[in-house]
Amino acid sequence: MEIRGEMLIGRASVYGQSGTLRAIDPASGEKLEPAFGCGGASEVERACRLAREAATAFRASSGETRARLLEAIAAGLQAQGGALQERAARETGLSPARLIMERGRAAGQLRQFALAARQGLDAGPRLEPGQPGRLPPKPDLRARHIAIGPVAVFGASNFPLAFSVAGGDTAAALAAGCPVVVKAHPAHPGVSELTGRIIQQAVAECGLPEGVFSLLIGDGNDIGLKLAAHPAIEAVAFTGSRAGGLALLRAAAQRPKPIPVFAEMGSINPVLLLPHALADRAEDIAAGWVDAVALNAGQFCTRPSLLLALKGESLTRLQRSAALKAASKPAETMLTPGMHSNYHQALQRLRSLPGVAELATGLPSPGPHAAQLTLFETDGATFLAAPELAEEVFGPCGLIVACRDLAELFEIVASLDGQLTATLQLDEADLPLARELLPLLEARAGRILANSFPNWVEVSPAMVHGGPFPACTDSRSTSVGIGAMTRFLRPVCYQNMPAPLLPPALQDA
């Protein structure tokens, strides 16, 4: 499969005429071939019109049909694995081992959604027989969920396979029966085109309308804003920065017909070290935390960047261990030159804050966009007085906050914004304190962990990858796991409907 720098609009391949875009190899700074032709208003219009035309037939398609589509995409990802991984490695700087794992995750997730599509969209249709003799008479009510309509998907920079063109949002929308228009992430257009071609081919092989899938490429925010504003689009799924997510939320709200925006936007993922666990396992916790902060240059929305503990001898041991471990961690290449530069600016801001000290730095590495692990430390009063310390720094950066006492720890937790995750490091003797903290954490985080670190997000029915604002724009859903499909479904109730008109799943038989 060749990369030609083209968008995929229905069954057509289109070289855009609104400027060009090139991927950059972040490891070397080299601009990669080919130049991608960017789309504009006419390509957005064409992709959205095709999606709208496809929506009714795709909504009515059987779960089996959608399952076959998802399985064909998964098979394509595996068949084209070498080419995908090679290009993804060049466009992102991520390691081959990481990309092999990610491709398996992407294929596995598509297969999980295929299974869900086969089993039916809801936990089960709801049937309530009428009670004509009741006063007032109760009508016969039957409800099911249907696809919301075309979904605009904005993939993540840090998961070019599992959270991008054929990632979780696309899989969830297709499983629900929604056509998808993807806006390719500008950092990995080549891997986007390759993946898009796999989906385009699968749509054709399954005999589905061509508008079930399109891929747009643009230079700058304009094409994404036009896509979110297009009247054919019924929902937006986004993973990325808070600025990007909020811009799309505003665009969607300003439409004559507003639509939901499911944006996942970063988080600092606090880790609370409870006193007995800290005293018993300071060194082990330090090692696990430093690994979790440094992993893949810290480019995880689930990176646990904030560590909270009571000050004292145990925390000093943990800090000493963390500093030693950090000093041996080599710098890793960041995904884009822009992220690398943002990371360094954020470090400068942290260094300039009174009361914040640098605890340790990792080893430098060659390469223009390698980011050194950097750990900071501060006290609870400084943290509470400086809201910027609670802002996400995207990259391998962590902050340890030494709290004066439990009251200050509780005050800090209560001050935190919405989070994707919160972690408790606890021993049995810490359970009473954990029980008191739990309601505060439940109110702030989508996933609460005990004695582990949150980077890995299992794709499974019980997973919640979401959380209150500003982690997400809508805390009622998840973007990982089968539950992600519910974002793209809406309930319809049929009242006193003659049996021949009812959908098969709602008929008495």
Single residue of 39, 167, 186, 481 touching ligand NAP by CB under 6 A: 186
The residue among 166, 152, 167, 170 whose CA lies nearest residue 224 is 152
As measured in angstroms, the least distance from the Cβ of 243 to ligand NAP is 6
Residue 290 tokens read as: 């430093």
Q: Using CB under 6 A, which of 265, 318, 397, 441 touches ligand NAP? A: 265
In this structure, what token pair is assigned to residue 4?
A: 């030609």
CB of 255 to ligand NAP, least distance (A): 14
Encode 110-165 in three state secondary structure: HHHHHHHHHHCCCCCCEEECCECCCCCCECCEEEEEEECCCEEEECCCCCCCCCCC
- H/E stretch holding 409 reads helix 406-415
Measured on CA atoms in the order 154, 79, 104, 148, is the torsion positive or negative? positive
Note whether 225 binds ligand NAP by CB under 6 A: yes
Q: Is residue 468 part of the contact set for ligand NAP (CB under 6 A)?
A: no
Site membership for ligand NAP, residue 332 (CB under 6 A): no
- Can you tell me which of 239, 296, 321, 333 binds ligand NAP, judged by CB under 6 A? 239
Q: Which span (48-56, 153-161, 195-203, 206-214) binds ligand NAP, by CB under 6 A?
A: 153-161
- The span of 88-96, 110-118, 151-159, 308-316 binding ligand NAP (CB under 6 A) equals 151-159
Task: Write out the H or E segment, with its range, that includes residue 423.
Answer: strand 419-425
- What end-to-end distance do the CA atoms of the chain give, in Å? 48
Q: Which stretch binds ligand NAP (CB under 6 A): 1-9, 168-176, 242-250, 317-325?
A: 242-250
Element (H or E) spanning 494, and its range?
A: strand 489-495
What backbone torsions phi and psi does residue 87 show, to the nearest 5 degrees?
-70, -40
Check residue 464 for interaction with ligand NAP (CB under 6 A): no
Q: Which is nearer to ligand NAP, 16 or 266 (CB)?
A: 266
Using DSSP's 3-state secondary structure scheme, residue 272 falls into: strand
Tell me the window of 144-152, 259-267, 278-286, 402-410 that interacts with ligand NAP (CB under 6 A). Answer: 259-267
Using the minimum distance from each CB to ligand NAP, give the nearer residue, 23 or 277: 23
Q: How far is the CB of 198 from ligand NAP (least distance, A)?
A: 19
Sequence-ordered list of residues with C-beta below 8 angstroms from that of 355, at least 6 positions apart, any chain? 378, 379, 381, 382, 385, 386
User: Is residue 260 a contact residue for ligand NAP (CB under 6 A)?
Assistant: no
**Size of interface with ligand NAP, in residues (CB under 6 A):** 25
Does the footprint of ligand NAP cover residue 305 (CB under 6 A)? no
CB of 32 to ligand NAP, least distance (A): 17
- In the complex, the smallest distance separating the C-beta of residue 218 from ligand NAP, rounded to whole angstroms, is 6
In the block, which residue shows the tokens 């084209």?
A: 80
Residue selected from 58, 113, 154, 262 as contacting ligand NAP according to rule CB under 6 A: 154
Q: DSSP string of 354-392?
A: TT-EEEEE-B--SSTTEE--EEEEEEHHHHHH-GGGGS-
Report if residue 393 touches ligand NAP, rule: CB under 6 A: no
Q: Is the dihedral of CA 286, 288, 294, 299 positive or negative?
A: negative
User: Nearest distance from residue 470's CB to ligand NAP, in Å?
Assistant: 10
DSSP secondary structure of 184-243: --TT-HHHHHHHHHHHHHHHHHTT--GGGEEEE--SSSHHHHHHHH-TT--EEEEES-HH
Residues 6+ apart with CB under 8 A from 168: 109, 162, 459, 479, 480, 484
Are 5 and 37 in contact, with CB atoms under 8 Å apart?
A: yes
Site for ligand NAP in 4-43 (CB under 6 A): none
Q: Which is nearer to ligand NAP, 215 or 225 (CB)?
A: 225
CA distance linking residue 434 with residue 415, whole number of Å: 18
**Binding status of residue 248 toward ligand NAP by CB under 6 A:** yes
Question: Catalytic residue numbers?
Answer: 264, 301
Q: Could you give phi then psi for residue 495, rounded to 5 degrees? A: -110, 125
Of 115-123, 132-140, 234-242, 405-413, the segment contacting ligand NAP by CB under 6 A is 234-242
Select the residue interacting with ligand NAP from 61, 109, 112, 158 (CB under 6 A). 158
Closest approach of ligand NAP to the CB of residue 359, in Å: 22
Helix axes 96-119, 81-92, angle to 10 degrees: 120
Our CB check for ligand NAP shows the closer of 228 and 434 to be 228
Q: Which is nearer to ligand NAP, 157 or 214 (CB)?
A: 157
> By CB under 6 A, is residue 487 in contact with ligand NAP?
no
The verdict on 185 binding ligand NAP (CB under 6 A) reads yes
288 binds ligand NAP (CB under 6 A): no
Q: Are 432 and 222 in contact (CB under 8 A)?
A: no
Which residues lie near ligand NAP (CB under 6 A)? 154, 156-158, 183, 185-186, 218, 220-221, 224-225, 239-241, 243-244, 247-248, 264-266, 301, 392, 394
